[in-house]
């Protein structure tokens, strides 16, 4: 299948137009014409090789929504014309205990990422800053026509990555929950934690986001640069979801957990984070992490969003604005997710 998109050729080259091939749809595959693709901070970390090991050329993008254009003979979930989404993974081994439990991001063989990854047969995979994608139907999700399609795109990564840990740690009424960083992931974590009935406290470094945080569902907003505001919450949180993309002081947040509280990292700074052991011992606290979410839970999250009318707050942009969008994401200056409009992709 012929494809066209935007690719990084090296960690320093700006994304530029790129023609490439994808496999033709096999018996279990679904081909999707991409209408919209979100810009995740992970796209930037990987395009710039901030985590190491990036593979070029790289077409980023794993918050993909569009319409089905072809289905293989054995596909049961989709027909041509259906709305469909693809997220961070496009395959996994399917036979390890974690795949059998539908927790594919934790596949012991290693899941196949949507981009910056090789398929099990060695083919380099390319993501959603492009006009089409092909994936096995297990990794393609049904999208409700009730929601604004462009604003659904970020649910495929930012949505599931925050929904999954909030569900795993059973966030709900009676719990005090903190969300760190009001970016793409953070604003979805805030919406979900609020929707699940918790008392939600948003932490931000940006004074300009305080009013928005309240509109998005925060019961309280803390300017994390103010030590007095931080100290007022010492030892009071059941759960904190850390959505920050850059190195930050872990001890300052661990101290805010109450007895047996958990801080879960979903943010992936490019530097190791240091922790004072006493921050964990005091209060028998846990430091944890969570990776996107499995296929069953991703569909559950999309269905929950359709039922509760939850989407991402987006800035819809054309492909000509990609370099500027990357710079603004790095500065924390996006409200609250950039989404690329496929109509502006011209070969």
In the chain the first and final C-alpha atoms are separated, in Å, by: 15
Q: Taking the complex as a whole, how short is the minimal distance between the CB of residue 87 and Zn ion, in angstroms?
A: 8
CA distance 25 to 18: 21
Cα(131)–Cα(101) distance, integer angstroms: 32
CB of 51 to Zn ion, least distance (A): 12
- Is residue 185 a contact residue for ligand NAP (CB under 6 A)? yes
Q: Give the torsion through C-alpha atoms of 161, 165, 166, 168, to 10 deg.
A: 140
Closest separation in Å from C-beta 272 to ligand NAP: 14
Q: How far is the CB of 38 from Zn ion (least distance, A)?
A: 8
Q: How far is the CB of 21 from ligand NAP (least distance, A)?
A: 27
Residue 45 interacts, among Zn ion, ligand NAP, none and using kind-specific CB cut-offs from 5 to 8 Å, with: ligand NAP
E strand or H helix at 274:
none
Peptide bond into 57 cis (omega under 30): yes
Binding to ligand NAP, residues 91-110 (CB under 6 A) = none
User: By rule CB under 6 A, what string of x and - marks binding of each residue 44-73 to ligand NAP?
Assistant: -x----------------------------
Our CB check for Zn ion shows the closer of 261 and 332 to be: 332
Interface mask toward ligand NAP for 236-275; x: CB under 6 A: -------xxxx-x-----------------xxx-------
Integer-rounded Cα Rg, in Å, for the chain is: 20
Contact with ligand NAP (CB under 6 A): which of 157, 230, 240, 257? 157
- The partner in contact with residue 209, picked from Zn ion, ligand NAP, none with C-beta cut-offs of 5 to 8 angstroms by kind, is ligand NAP
Number of helical H runs and strand E runs in the chain: 11, 17
Contact between 223 and ligand NAP (CB under 6 A)? no
Q: How far is the CB of 143 from ligand NAP (least distance, A)?
A: 19
Q: Judging by beta carbons within 10 Å of its beta carbon (0-12, 13-18, 19+), is residue 259 exposed, middle or buried?
A: exposed
* 294 to 60, 161, 291: CA distances (angstroms): 20, 10, 9
Measured in whole angstroms, the distance separating CA 184 from the mean position of its chain's CA atoms is 8
Q: Judged by CB under 6 A, which of 85, 178, 181, 261 binds ligand NAP?
A: 181
**CB neighbours of residue 110 within 10 Å:** 13
Binding mask 154-193 for Zn ion (x = CB under 5 A): ---x------------------------------------
């Amino acid at each position: 299948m012929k494809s066209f998109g935007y690719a990084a050729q090296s960690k320093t080259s700006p994304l530029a137009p790129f023609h490439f091939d994808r496999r033709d749809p096999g018996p279990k595959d679904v081909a999707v014409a991409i209408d919209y693709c979100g810009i995740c901070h992970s796209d930037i970390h990987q395009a710039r090789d901030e985590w190491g090991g990036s593979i070029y050329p790289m077409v980023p993008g794993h918050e993909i929504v569009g319409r089905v254009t072809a289905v293989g003979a054995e596909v049961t979930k989709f027909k041509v014309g259906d709305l469909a989404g693809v997220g961070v993974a496009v395959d996994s081994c399917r036979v390890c205990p974690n795949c059998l439990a539908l927790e594919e991001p934790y596949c012991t063989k290693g899941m196949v990422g949507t981009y910056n990854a090789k398929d099990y047969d060695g083919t380099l995979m390319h993501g959603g800053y492009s006009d089409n994608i092909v994936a096995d139907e297990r990794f393609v999700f049904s999208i409700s026509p009730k929601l604004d399609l462009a604003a659904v795109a970020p649910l495929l990564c930012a949505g599931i990555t925050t929904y999954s840990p909030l569900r795993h740690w059973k966030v709900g009424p009676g719990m005090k929950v903190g969300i760190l960083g009001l970016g793409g992931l953070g604003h979805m974590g805030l919406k979900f934690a609020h929707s699940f009935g918790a008392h939600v406290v948003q932490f931000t470094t940006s004074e300009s986001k305080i009013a928005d945080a309240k509109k998005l569902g925060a019961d309280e907003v803390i300017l994390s640069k103010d030590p007095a505001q931080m100290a007022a919450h010492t030892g009071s949180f059941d759960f904190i979801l850390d959505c920050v993309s850059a190195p930050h002081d872990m001890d300052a947040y661990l101290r805010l957990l109450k007895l047996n509280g958990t801080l879960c990292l979903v943010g992936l700074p490019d530097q190791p984070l240091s922790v004072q052991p006493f921050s964990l011992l005091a209060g028998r606290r846990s430091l944890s992490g969570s990776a996107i979410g499995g296929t069953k839970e991703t569909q559950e999250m999309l269905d929950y969003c359709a039922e509760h009318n939850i989407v991402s707050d987006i800035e819809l942009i054309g492909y000509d604005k990609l370099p500027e969008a990357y710079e603004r994401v790095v500065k924390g200056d996006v409200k609250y997710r950039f989404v690329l409009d496929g109509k502006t992709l011209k070969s």
